[in-house]
Amino acid sequence: MIYIAIEGPNGSGKTTVARALADYINSSRTDMSATVIREPSDPLYMSAMVNAGASQEMLAGAFMMDRAIQGRALCGYDVVISDRCYLSTFVYQQDVDRGLLIYLVDRLPRRPDLIVVLLGRHSDNRDGLSALDMQRDEEIERYRSAPDLYDNIMYIDDVEKLSVDEIVKIIAGRIL
């Protein structure tokens, strides 16, 4: 089984690319089947934890537990595409000790074979950027500084300049 994770800031096209990649594999490869999973598997539970004021450590632990459970349930498909993975924890739970996060990631039953990070900038001129653009720029920088623990991260820059089909072909060329 090939396990691929699609990462990137909110609104970068992760879900769209993950679904399109699965559709591409399922329609063009009769010898392979692909599915998409979402992380976290229960977004309402995770949102409730955030809204209840859970600490960054508790959130990191909950996400890792969710990943461990999903990791055991990935059988039956040739290609599993995850919308997010452990890399998000490094990007969004910035206050958690990196050594602890690496310890938890090392104990996951299955880690992605390839993590694709979708990145893009709207402008290098901060004067005209909205708050959302500036937040996305900060997230992009955090993705770039996240550790490549297993030498399996592929960055696709300027995704706003590429079609979904072009992105899918770039990823498929790497894994198929």
Encode the chain (176 residues) as per-residue pLDDT tens digits: 899 999 998 888 999 999 999 999 999 988 999 999 887 777 777 778 778 888 888 888 888 888 777 766 666 789 999 999 989 888 988 888 889 888 888 888 888 999 999 997 544 444 555 666 777 788 889 998 888 888 999 999 989 889 999 999 999 999 98
Q: Which domain holds residue 93?
A: 2-175
**Which helix (H) or strand (E) is 56 found in, with range?**
helix 56-72
> What residues are paired with 118 via a beta bridge?
156
Q: What is the model's pTM?
A: 0.85
How far is Cα 16 from Cα 165, in angstroms, rounded to an integer?
A: 10
Residue from 56, 51, 131, 124 nearest 92 by CA: 56
Identify the CATH number of the domain in which residue 19 sits: 3.40.50.300
Total number of domains in the chain: 1
